[in-house]
Amino acid sequence: MKHDNFYNYSKMTGIIRIISCLFFVIQPLAGFAMDNGAVCPVDETMLMFVGEDIEALTIASRREESAWQAAAVAQVINRKELREHGFTTLSEALDTKPGFYMAQNPWGSVPYLRGISNSILFLYDTVPMSADSDKSIQQIDYNLSLNAIKRIEIIRGPGSVLWGPDAFAGIVNIVPLSGRDLHGLETGIGYNGKEKAENFYLNLGQGNAIWDGFLSITGRSGRTNDDEVNIVSFWGDENRPTPVTERYGNDSPGRSSYLESTGIFSYRDKIKISGRISSNHHPYSIADSPNRSWLEQRNTPSYFVKLEANQALDSISSLRFTGFYNKLEPENEIIDRKFKVTEKTTYGELIYDRSFFTGKGLFTGGLSLRRKDIDDATIWQSYMPDFLGPENQYLFPMFSKINYRDDLVSGFGQYTYQADNTKIWLGIRYDNHDLYEDNLSFNSGIAYSPTSSLMTKLLYGTAYRTPSSHQLFIHEKPKLEKVETLEAELAWNPLNNFNFSLVAFTSRIEDHAKEDPYAQLSVGNHQDINGIEAEAGFKFSDQLKLAANMTLLDNRGPKETFHLLNAVYMRPDGSLEYIYEDIKSPYDLGPETIFNLSAAWLPAADISLLADLKYRASHDLINARTGITSTADPVWLLDINAVTGDILSSGVTFSCSITNLFDTAYSIPGPYEMIDGEPFTLKFMLEKKW
């Protein structure tokens, strides 16, 4: 990788400043902490926010540990926090955390982490959920229920060493409930006033010292979009589009529906079988101008089955196996034609753990095999909306269908050594692809905890993400987009009622390519992103808690260049001549400033009232076909959630949520033009534990 001199100098200067500032702050804090508590090893369980124990995190080192001591910038959202805030989707929960921004589009949320869109590896029980054919397909909205979730594990920063491709800017792992977490039956019904949506769930768990099992079924039906459209037919027959006289009319999206079931069975902590099946239907309207709109719908049916087994070899080593089969069938219906893709993944992994030096050192090494088959991936070569107008009577937009298979063989290892209050780690991974370039990933870091209330981390890591189907269509063996990140974290928890953390990072992205909806792919470039993530929590009393976080981002790099197809001419000999035009547009960083503030009031043991105040700085809508940029104004939003327990009888809980309390009218970037943000919404939920 080549770096220009200015970049090398700027990056090194930034690194030195980060480290200098970090340890300048550490010195006085360490002195204060030493006066208030004795030194202890870094593996001691710490207190995270308002005196609550940190729950286990498994994705940082492939074993259970606290987020405080993890070899990563890590965080956990537990089930209690999800309930107190009234979060109903994964995107809602992540949108309140440092570094995250969830842009809203008609088809669902577009996740940003540290200024990079669609850059997160989403896992459900460590099984990847995202689609390879189209990076915009995510299961983070109503197509993933939170009712059967135990916790959400979060890592900010590259994670390819232990998790392979696409653990790019971070990792989010959904940990489902088990029979040990829920003994008995739990049910719930809810209603969303704006969408006239009803939802339900049923959780059933049972277990003992030998075995445990868990089953969950959830469903939802509602009308998420009421906007009328004026184009109701287009694709006609195989020879020509629908005649212009029949192309126009009036229609609107129908009701969305979602159904999901998950299950887990475990025997003696040696064998675990788990699975998830999801079916959904999400219609919506979309427009590229005030006088042109049409209907689309996205369905993302999927299922997986997973087997885990582990065996202790002796007192210092063990062997673990994980295997799963995953099938995802994303389907996009545009007006009156369906485009369906099938993605099938077969995966097997063997991990060996061994401790050294009486437990101070731990080696984790593994070998994995993955086969991914993708059929009927749609590659758009034309800008589809241009063909919808009355001036087009004979032509269809150009697109292709491709099938491909990628076999991946990976070897990886990470060694961690902990002595007293210092922990160091080093990891490497080699991925051998059939279809893509081979890749090496690295991570390293040091954690230093001079006292039980202070933790510092310095981390370096690289990661890459696999290309989309569009990139494969254009290039036989495309370069893999790579990120290189250096980050430093300072976490301070001097008292049971106060905590603070500060993270500074700098990232360099190489061979970055952006895909525009229904259009073309940008030419590879590089981007530099720097940022600061700050978070604090304070407990005034058992009844009142405050928490806040802020993210500041800065981007440096060239503009995106799109090599767009402008026209196609037929020569006298019948051959086609393609005319291209280069368009430049800014890099899409998302909002440069993000702020979240939450206040919780708990007047009684079974009553809570929580307010979430969110600020999002301006966000640009970038039209890659014209290079024109529109800007959405900054916005403040306030959400309220109230929960009352034992309201009618023992075990009955009632919650009421209000989104956008003051009904602020605001616009956000859509696919082609500005769209309205989420309005005032009232939601209810009634739950019962049997």
- Give the residue with greater pLDDT, 621 vs 127: 127
Please check the confidence at residue 684 and state whether its pLDDT lies above 60: yes
Please check the confidence at residue 4 and state whether its pLDDT lies above 70: no
- Phi, psi (degrees; rounded to nearest 5) at 123: -120, 145
Whole-angstrom Cα distance, residue 126 to residue 306?
10
For position 519, what pLDDT does the model report?
55
Q: Which residues pair with 504 in a beta bridge?
A: 488, 532
Instruction: For residue 434, give the amino acid letter.
Output: D
CA atoms within 13 A on the CB side of 307: 8
Please check the confidence at residue 462 and state whether its pLDDT lies above 70: yes
Please check the confidence at residue 597 and state whether its pLDDT lies above 80: yes
Please check the confidence at residue 3 and state whether its pLDDT lies above 60: no
- pLDDT confidence bin for 583, thresholds 50/70/90: confident
Q: Residue ranges of the domains in the chain?
A: 5-219+252-371+396-689
For position 28, what pLDDT does the model report?
39
For position 55, what pLDDT does the model report?
66
Region 650-663: mean pLDDT is: 92
For position 325, what pLDDT does the model report?
98
Whole-angstrom Cα distance, residue 629 to residue 632?
10
Please check the confidence at residue 153 and state whether its pLDDT lies above 70: yes
CA torsion, ordered 171, 183, 221, 385, to nearest 10 deg: 10
- pLDDT confidence bin for 569, thresholds 50/70/90: confident
Whole-angstrom Cα distance, residue 322 to residue 370?
12
CATH of region 5-219+252-371+396-689, choose from 2.60.40.1260, 3.40.50.300, 2.40.170.20, 3.40.50.1370 = 2.40.170.20
543-546: long-range contacts at Cβ-Cβ below 8 A with a sequence spacing of 24 or more?
Answer: 543/601, 543/602, 543/603, 544/599, 544/600, 544/601, 544/602, 545/49, 545/50, 545/599, 545/600, 545/602, 546/597, 546/598, 546/599, 546/600
Please check the confidence at residue 12 and state whether its pLDDT lies above 60: no
Token pair for 498:
């106060």
> Residues 244, 248, 250, CA angle at the centre, nearest 5°?
170
Alpha-carbon torsion 50, 56, 58, 61, what sign? positive
Whole-angstrom Cα distance, residue 335 to residue 249?
12
For position 1, what pLDDT does the model report?
41
85 in Cβ contact with 610 (< 8 Å): yes
How far lies 179's CA from each of 203, 489, 668, in Å? 10, 36, 42
Give pLDDT tens digits for 96-114: 999 999 999 998 999 999 9
Give pLDDT tens digits for 479-503: 889 999 999 999 999 888 899 999 9
For position 518, what pLDDT does the model report?
54
pLDDT-above-90 percentage for the chain: 65
Region 164-189: mean pLDDT is: 94
401 in Cβ contact with 375 (< 8 Å): no
Mean per-residue pLDDT of the chain? 87
pTM exceeding the 0.75 threshold for the entire prediction: yes
Token pair for 536:
């604090």
Give pLDDT tens digits for 48-97: 333 344 568 899 999 889 999 899 999 999 999 999 999 999 999 999 99
